[in-house]
């Protein structure tokens, strides 16, 4: 592999965020470098037609499959809201309380239809953290239930619904963020959970999602002390092996944002970017700063060149991201973007779930 091909291969493992409601010069430069994923935040969104125009411009610039992603869970964490022209769903806790797999499937399909109408390919949902800590500041009613079986069963139905509408689902946050009392956007949480505890509570939902064919799984920036007392799950080979060996997941493993304070204030980028890939992450989220995004590419490339990241690990990650890119659709048509939004069927389903219930979004960057 020559230098240019290696650079593009490594860049293709990143998903980046940017600022503005039109493609910024910075994100266009990253796409030209080879980046194959872009994440949208509220800062990028005005209304449905603008979202479709933005997504279309990004995909046309790429000139090859580009995966556009978003956090659209429902409740507090939903970037696209009624003000943008989209159906607002209540927190997923309402689905958990109902316990109805058909309702969960239909909710996922609704979200998938609306995202697909504006060209979005990947939704970072469902949350399959088990809500075992009532003082958790970041998960709470984003979780379906305090019962692992119910989280797995309904989370699998949600994922199947999303994917039935042509949008890839991503289960999060592996191996479990539900029992923390701290927010990994702000600090690095630590948990004392043994493997026995994880196998009883946190891992069963991820196993259920793997069996359901979920396209991706996102890591948690949480230290599980008995498994790895130093590194958070995102950087820990010992923890990430559980995803493959215990849960049986074969799809793409995506890091949570490497610019979150749980990583950026605890671990240098020199350790975090190559370390996540070496540990078993396939696609790295770097959501805010162009200089950090370019530096992450440079650092991973150097780690490949020095042998810190073996060629087999790079090839494995590249292959998994390539499979994920099969979900990438063509540029959408802004003129038809609203046709699938806030339909009577969608509004009736939201009402059946219990109507909107938002509050402060703990995740917005």
Q: How far apart are CA 242 and CA 233, in angstroms?
A: 10
Band of pLDDT at residue 362, cut at 50, 70 and 90? low
pLDDT of res. 185: 74
Q: How far apart are CA 330 and CA 118, in angstroms?
A: 10
Question: 5-19, 69-83, 142-156, 256-270: lowest mean pLDDT where?
Answer: 256-270
* Residue 35 predicted with pLDDT over 90: yes
Q: How many CB atoms lie within 10 A of CB 167?
A: 27
Task: Provide the percentage of residues in the chain whose pLDDT is more than 90.
Answer: 87
Structure tokens at 35: 């980046």
* Residue 120 predicted with pLDDT over 80: yes
Contacts of 23 (CB under 8 A, 6+ apart): 54, 57, 58, 61
The verdict on whether 256 is a catalytic residue reads: yes
CATH of 3-353, one of 3.40.190.80, 3.20.20.300, 3.30.300.130, 3.30.1330.10: 3.20.20.300
Sequence spans of domains, the chain: 3-353
Rg, Å, the chain Cα set? 19
pLDDT of res. 323: 98
Catalytic residue among 131, 141, 183, 256: 256
* Residue 361 predicted with pLDDT over 90: no
The verdict on whether 346 is a catalytic residue reads: no
Question: 186-195, 207-216, 314-323: lowest mean pLDDT where?
Answer: 186-195
Q: Name the pTM for this structure.
A: 0.95
pLDDT of res. 178: 85
Band of pLDDT at residue 19, cut at 50, 70 and 90? very high
pLDDT of res. 357: 61
Average predicted confidence (pLDDT) for the chain: 94
Q: Over the stretch 143-181, which tens digit does the pLDDT of each residue have? A: 999 999 999 999 999 999 999 999 999 999 999 988 887
Q: How far apart are CA 190 and CA 255, in angstroms?
A: 17
Q: How far apart are CA 166 and CA 328, in angstroms?
A: 9
Give, for 160, the enclosing helix (H) or strand (E). helix 148-164
In a 3-state reduction of DSSP, which class is residue 248?
Answer: coil
- 266: exposed, middle or buried (Cβ count in 10 Å: 0-12, 13-18, 19+): middle
* Residue 248 predicted with pLDDT over 80: yes
Contacts of 103 (CB under 8 A, 6+ apart): 95, 349, 352, 353
In a 3-state reduction of DSSP, which class is residue 354?
Answer: coil
Structure tokens at 309: 């990241």
CA–CA–CA angle 128, 360, 345 (5° rounding): 65
Question: 170-179, 185-194, 276-285: lowest mean pLDDT where?
Answer: 185-194
Band of pLDDT at residue 355, cut at 50, 70 and 90? confident
* Residue 365 predicted with pLDDT over 70: no
* Residue 96 predicted with pLDDT over 70: yes
Contacts of 2 (CB under 8 A, 6+ apart): none
Catalytic residue among 84, 173, 177, 185: 185
pLDDT of res. 134: 82
Task: Name 286's bridge partners.
Answer: 16
* Residue 46 predicted with pLDDT over 60: yes
Q: How far apart are CA 6 and CA 321, in angstroms?
A: 15
Q: How far apart are CA 17 and CA 5, in angstroms?
A: 23
Contact (Cβ atoms closer than 8 angstroms) between residue 159 and residue 115: no
Q: How far apart are CA 137 and CA 222, in angstroms?
A: 14
């Amino acid at each position: 592999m020559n230098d240019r091909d290696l650079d593009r291969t490594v860049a293709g493992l990143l998903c980046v965020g940017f600022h503005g409601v039109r493609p910024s010069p910075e994100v266009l430069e990253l796409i030209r470098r080879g980046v194959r994923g872009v994440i949208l935040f509220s800062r990028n969104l005005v209304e449905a037609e603008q979202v479709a125009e933005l997504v279309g411009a990004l995909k046309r610039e790429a000139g090859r499959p580009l995966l556009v992603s978003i956090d659209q869970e429902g409740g507090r964490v939903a970037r696209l809201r009624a003000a943008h022209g989209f159906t607002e769903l209540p927190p997923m806790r309402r689905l958990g309380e109902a316990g109805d797999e058909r309702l969960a499937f239909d909710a996922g399909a609704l979200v998938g239809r609306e995202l697909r109408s504006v060209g979005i390919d990947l939704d970072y949902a469902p949350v399959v953290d088990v809500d075992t800590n009532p003082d958790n500041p970041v998960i709470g009613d984003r979780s379906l239930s305090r019962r692992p079986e119910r989280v797995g069963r309904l989370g699998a139905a949600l994922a199947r619904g999303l994917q039935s509408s042509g949008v890839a689902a991503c289960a999060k946050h592996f191996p479990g963020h539900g029992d923390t009392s701290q927010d990994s956007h702000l600090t690095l949480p630590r948990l004392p959970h043994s493997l026995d505890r994880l196998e009883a509570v946190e891992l069963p939902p991820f196993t259920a999602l793997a069996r359901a064919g979920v396209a991706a799984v996102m890591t948690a920036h949480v230290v599980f002390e008995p498994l790895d007392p130093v590194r958070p799950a995102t950087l820990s080979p010992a923890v990430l092996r559980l995803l493959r060996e215990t849960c049986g997941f074969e799809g793409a493993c995506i890091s949570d944002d490497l610019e979150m304070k749980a990583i950026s204030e605890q671990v240098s980028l020199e350790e975090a970017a190559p370390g996540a890939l070496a540990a078993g992450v396939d696609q790295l989220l770097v959501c805010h700063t162009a200089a950090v995004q370019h530096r992450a590419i440079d650092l991973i490339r150097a780690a490949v060149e020095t042998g810190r990241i073996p060629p087999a690990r790079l090839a494995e990650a590249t292959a998994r991201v390539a499979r994920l890119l099969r979900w990438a659709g063509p540029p959408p048509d802004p003129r038809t973007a609203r046709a699938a939004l806030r339909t009577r069927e969608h509004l009736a389903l939201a009402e059946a779930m219990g109507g909107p219930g938002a509050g402060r979004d703990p995740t917005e960057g």
